[in-house]
Amino acid sequence: QLVESGGGLVQPGGSLRLSCAASGRSIRFYAMAWYRQAPGKQREWVGISASSTNYAESVKGRFTISRDNAKNTGYLQMNSLKPEDTAVYYCNINIGTAAIWGQGTQVTVSS
């Protein structure tokens, strides 16, 4: 099970850190990805922490993915937020053919 937290309302240029707490299985053995879905749009890949960390071009240089295996938690640090970053953010782990998703956390960037 994955549970995201840390979303909220932030002004343009601000920062938020999202957390993705895992239970039932250690995340250390799996790649953890982050996605987002804005209203009326398809779910969009944001980035992934695996043997390396990679990001979508739209967030590169502003977002950072990390993980604390001891806490079994992944993080998405978001800086220099823009209104177009407004979306529900999801974390994801794939275990074999099973895709595990959290419930999502809303991020709203607005003045």
What's the start-to-end Cα distance of the chain, in Å?
34
SS3 label, residue 51: coil
- Amino acid letter, residue 55: Y
> If you average pLDDT over residues 59-85, what whole number do you get?
96
> If you average pLDDT over residues 58-62, what whole number do you get?
97
SS3 label, residue 89: strand
Using one digit for the tens of pLDDT, what is the confidence trace for 37-56?
A: 999 999 999 999 998 999 99
Choose the weakest-confidence range: 6-10, 20-24, 88-92: 20-24
| Token representation of residue 63 | 């977002």
| Contacts (Cβ under 8 Å, ≥6 apart) of 106 | 7, 8, 87, 88, 89
Q: What is the per-residue pLDDT for 25?
A: 83
Q: What is the per-residue pLDDT for 11?
A: 97
